[in-house]
Structure formats: C-alpha cells, structure tokens
Chain A
Amino acid sequence: MFESKSGVLLIGGLIFFVFAFLSNAVVPMLMYQELPEQPTAALVNENLMYQFQDLSLRYPDQFSEHFGEATQENCVEALDLGREIYIGEGCWHCHSQFVRPVSNEADRWGPVAATPEYQNELQRPVMFGTRRVGPDLSREGGRRGNDWHAVHFYEPTSVSWKSPMPNYPWLFDGSPDKPNKRGLALITYVQWLGSWLDSYPLYEDYVPLEEQMDNPLAQ
C-alpha cells in the first residue's frame, strides 16, 4: 500500500491533504459561522465619515471631481478602491494588520486583534500581512490627519526623515495637495483601519472639524 500508485495518490495525495484542510481550515470556518461576513456598506461608521468629509473640505476640487459629495455611498466606493490599491501596491508586504498579544504590541498600537474585526468584505483576502518594515496599520485610522497622509504618500521622507517607504506620486495630480481618485481612496481606506474600535482614536483627541478648518493665521 505504501509503495503502490493508488496508495501514494489516494492516501498521500488526497486523504492527507483533505485531512489537513478539514482540521486546519474547516474547523475555524465552522467556529465563526455565527459571525457572517459584513459587506463594505456596513463598515462605514461615524469616525470614518468624519474623515471622509474632512477630505472633501481639504481637497474640494479633487474630491468633487472624483467622488462628488461626501455621502455614505461614495465612502463605500472609496473604501473598496482604497483596499484594491493597498493590495496592488503591495503595502501589505511592509505593513501588518494585526496587533499581537505579545512583545508590548498592545502598548504600541492599541487593543489586541480579535476575530470579529476581520469578518468583513474588506478582509477577504485577509490583510494580516507578513513583514513589518513599517508599523502595524490596523489601528492607524485617526492617528494622523488626512493632510499628513497625503504628504506622506507623496514623499514619505518629507515627514519621516529616514523613511524607506517608497514615494507614490501617481496617487496625485502633480503635488501633494492634489490627491487623485486613487489617492483619496487610499487615504479613506487607511483612515478606516481601527475606526470601529471603542478606543478610537487612541492617539489624539478629536478636534472638531470646524475648529480645524478655522485657520488662526487667517484672522
């Protein structure tokens, strides 16, 4: 049996493979049955809408051209596109999206990752990540302003002196204050990360939008 063709093909090739699949993949699928996948539309929350509106105020021309109004519907479109860019540009090969319960990570980034956070359309395929050249991003939302992200994506070294992160000028129409559709979408996606948490925003207090737009120098 152990040296016969049928043994090798059926037992080695098929049965062992299926056994591993059942025990390692089907078991967690069954365990999380009662946590169905949420569609992107269900992921838009107040925190994210705040950032989305902020984008529309900061970059009014680009925003109205590409997304029109800062509505919930358009936010869904931006999120989906943003995730596509995050994958296509390989951001997930330099940034993880899960906080581990070890190595003081909860102190650095906030609450440890939990399964319900990942049962949604934007985490199919899941963006756990594989290497941290840059920091974990699963609690990035609200940590930085939209303008910071825009400048950072345009040229990371201009805000983070020695950053090895590549420049993404093709997400802009020529300058960091003109993010194009892809740029706006990616910023929206990054602001979504962690926006669902009770602890949000972990890093800074909210400054109401009107106050932010109130430029003291203009008075």
Chain B
Amino acid sequence: MSAGTVTTLPPNQPEHENLVEERLVAWFFVAALVYMAVSFLGGLLMALQLVRWNPLQGSEWLSPGRWRMIHTNAIAYGFLANAFLGALHWAVPRLTLRPVLSRALSYFIFVAWQVVVLSTAAGILMGQAQGIEWGETPVWIDPLALAGLLLVAINFMAPIIKAEGPLYVTLWYFMAAFVWTFLTYAMGNFLPEYFVPGTSGGAIAGLFIHDLVGLFVTPLGWGLMYYFVPILLQKPIWSHGLSLVGFWGLAFFYPLNGIHHFLYTPIPMFLQYGAVIATIAVELVVTTVIINFFGTIWGSGKAVVNNLPIRWFYTGMVLYFITCFQCALQVTLTFQALIHFTDWVVGHAHLVMFGVFTMWLMGIMTYLFPRLLRRPWYSYTLCEWHYWLSTAGIVSMFIDLTLAGVFQGYAWASLQPWDVSVELSEPFWIFRIFAGLTIIAGQLCFAWNLLMTWLGKTSDEPATSAATNAWGTA
C-alpha cells in the first residue's frame, strides 16, 4: 500500500482515556528518571576514581569497578527500557486505535521489570556480574528478563496485529524491535556464557553489544521519532519511500556490524572486513533517514526555536548523524589501530546513549508530562536550562573524550611507559568530571521542575512564554 492511500478512520474513534493508561506512562517515566540518577552516580564515582579523587575508596559495595557496570546497566535496562515502555504505552494504542492486550499485564510488566533491574543492580554489587559487556545481568536473572521481554512483545503485538489498513512506519520499527530485542537478549546472554568459548564467543558478544543498540534502542527510538515529529510539526513525514529505505536498510545491515567491536582480535580477518563494510553501509542508510527528517522540518525551521520537544528531537538527530559519521570513519582499520581501547570510544558511546536516545526521550517526556499531569510545566525557564545544560555537557564531554582518545592512542603506539598515558589523560579526565556535572545539573533542573509541576505549584514566571510554549499546553 502506498502513502497516498487514504484510509478512513473507524466512525467511532475510541476515546483517549480508553486507549492509554496515563498513570502507568507517568510511572514508567519516573522509574526511568530514578535509574538515570543511579547511573549518573556510578559514572561520577568512576570519573572521580580515574583522577584518584574517589572519597569512598576501600568499600566493597562502593567499588568503582562494580559501579561502572551499574552505570551502563542502569542506563540500558533501567532508564532506556523504562522510558521506552512508557512512551510505547502512549504511542502504540494511539496509533492502532486499540488498547494494549491487558492493562493488568501492563502493570505486572511494570513491577516485574523493576524487579529485574533492581536484582541486576544487587547482583552486580554483590560481585556476581556476568562477563559480557552490556549483559552483566547476573546469569540467574537472564531467564526472568527474557520472560519479561516476551510479555512486553505480547502485550503490544495484540493491538498491532489487530490494526487494519496500512501500517505506519513507527509500527514497523516497533514490531521488528520486539522480535529483535528478544532474540538479541537470548543470543548474547546464553551462547557466550554456556556454549561458545573464545574467539567465536567474542564474535557473538560483539553481535550482542551492537544489536542491543541497533536492534533494541535504535528502532524504538526512530519509531518514536516517526510518531512524535509529524504530530508536533503538524505535517506528514516528508517521504514515505525514504522511510522504507531507512527501515529495511537498518534491518539488513545493522545486524551484520557486530564484529567491528573486536577488530584486530583473532576473529577471522575476512569477517572483520565484512563488518567494516556493513558499518559503512549503515552510515549511508542513516543519511537517508536524516534527509527524510530534515525534509520534514523544511519550511518549519522556526519550530526548533520555539518548540522545545522538537528542539530536543532535532538536536538528537544532528548528534546521531555525527555519531554515525564517526562510525564510518572509526570503523576503518586505520583508525582502529589508533583509537581502539581509548577514551575515544567512551566518548562515542556517551554521544549515542545520551546525546541521541536520552535527548529524544527527554523531548518526549517534556512533551508528555504536561499532558499526563494535565497542567503546564511549573517553569519553562527550567525546561530551557534542562536542554541547554544537557546539550553543553554532552557536547563538551564528547569533544574532550575524543581528544583524550587520540592522545592515549599515540602515547601507547610510541611505546612510552604506561604511566605516561595515564598522566596525560588526567586533564581530560578532570574536564570530563565537570562536563558530567553539567549534565547532572541539567537533569536536576528537570527533576525539580517535574516535582513542582506534580505538586501543582505555580511559578511567578511572566506569562509571555505562553505563545512560544504552545506545545506545552495540553
């Protein structure tokens, strides 16, 4: 079916109240923000450790090595998963005009998922981590997490399967993501742990790291962008054809990239070359998606100024493009020789996780909270601070870590004693602490603003903002 097909809506459109369980959406968002705070504390602890400013040395429960794993896991399974689940509970019923399979199941999923995340944290703190990056979830939790993912898929697939007429892009991404996330989690957490040792196990771990970003986070993120951007701009997506290219390009090329995380390992060289080429192909696909979204906003550019959620979305997209452009360069073996294992990669990871997906989710939350709470934001100035501190923080952290990586790479290659590379990293690591604190300050603005809004407080901000903040009035 082509984009031109006009579908008539069912005569009796269901009421929003019968579709969306708003309270649950808010709960998911709040849970996400709590885990984000935990993750930031872990990141901060490790950042302080690196420059030996860690005031909490010597306690087993506060070991920076363990908290470094809390840092990444709390973001992936605590923040991102919860925030996505919240947004899905809003978007899927409204797109399909059908509620999820069961609200009771939704609540059960909410509770079950928090159990999964909290026991992951407890297990890691007790030193039971599993030796797979992004899969440190202790082995005894893996089956539970997998069951949870299955329930999520069932709960959302029910309305999608029943939906009639052509499916909108967003739903392609969501459907595929439900299948992919389940498969990826099972592959990455079970095969290298129980069945496949060594080099081939490393290849699977590479697939897992990559698919988790590419087949869980990315499709949910883009699916939500395809949903929220046209709504906020009040016009359809620019090209249906390009969204087809984007989706199928991602589906085909993304899973083929995994081994690029382990270049120059004993994994057979021809597989490494394959992963490098597939990665460069993904960059081309990404470009089509970016063109599509900039085609969409063409002519409404002012929205970036006075529509804050749109600004979050498009900032994330610009950073996404930078990330992916960077991918295409750093994946080459020439670059890898220099920057692999350095802070360059850490900078890249932060740019993707915070600069792109967190930005998008923050835009969505900024847009949805006034609707969920049925009142405008307590302070639109604080909303702006949230945006600017987050953006300034992540961009400066990215530049800082990228530079650090280049210095480290050359220090190692020049065969200087190891300590030299540590010492020259120090100014970068100190700067990184402050960049991180800037990000944290931004989120504190958001948290305070949310709390005040929730409590129904009003600020004495001038009312002039009303026109520019039309997005914020439900």
Contacts and interface: CB of A to CB of B under 8 A. Distances in A.
B50 A119 contact: no
Interface in A100-122: 100-105, 107-108, 113-115, 117-121
Contacts of A208: none
B474 interface: no
A65 interface: no
A21 B254 CA distance: 12
Given A2-B244, A5-B175, A135-B418, A162 B52 contact: yes
Contacts of B207: 20-21, 24-25
Contacts of B60: 170
A24 B266 contact: no
Contacts of B154: none
A113 B262 CA distance: 12
Given A89-B63, A162-B423, A31 B268 contact: yes
Contacts of A11: 251
Given A90-B66, A90-B129, A128 B422 contact: no
A213 B459 CA distance: 75
Nearest to A29: B200
A100 B66 CA distance: 27
Contacts of B412: 103-105, 108, 132
A57 interface: no
Nearest to A132: B341
Given A13-B180, A126-B201, A166 B251 contact: no
A14 B179 CA distance: 7
B264 A164 contact: no
Interface in A1-33: 2-5, 8-9, 11-14, 16-17, 19-21, 23-25, 27-29, 31-32
Interface string A33-61: 00101000000000000000000000000
Contacts of B248: 2, 12
B317 interface: no
Contact of A101 (B131, B256, B264): B264
B262 A128 contact: yes
A11 B172 CA distance: 12
A83 B374 CA distance: 53
B252 A27 contact: no
B115 interface: no
Nearest to A127: B131
B130 A125 contact: yes
B271 A166 contact: no
Interface centre among B50, B66, B264, B415 (most CB of A within 10 A): B264
Contacts of A91: 65
A164 B49 contact: yes
Nearest to A160: B419
A119 B198 CA distance: 5
Contact of B128 (A2, A14, A88): A88
B364 interface: no
Interface in A153-170: 157, 160-164, 166-170
A166 B345 contact: no
Contacts of B54: 166
11 contacts: A3-B167, A12-B247, A14-B183, A24-B255, A24-B258, A24-B274, A25-B196, A88-B127, A103-B337, A127-B131, A164-B49
Nearest 8 interchain pairs by C-beta: A13-B179, A118-B198, A90-B65, A20-B255, A88-B127, A124-B197, A12-B251, A102-B337
Interface of B: 1, 49-52, 54, 57-58, 60, 63-66, 68-69, 127-133, 160-161, 166-167, 172, 175-176, 178-180, 183-184, 187, 191-194, 196-207, 211, 215, 244, 247-248, 251-252, 255-256, 258-259, 261-262, 264-268, 271, 274-275, 333, 336-338, 340-343, 345-346, 409, 412-415, 418-419, 422-423
Given A13-B251, A105-B412, A167-B58, 19 more contacts: A8-B176, A11-B251, A12-B176, A17-B180, A23-B256, A24-B275, A88-B129, A90-B66, A90-B69, A93-B68, A113-B266, A118-B266, A124-B193, A125-B130, A126-B201, A130-B341, A131-B342, A163-B419, A167-B57
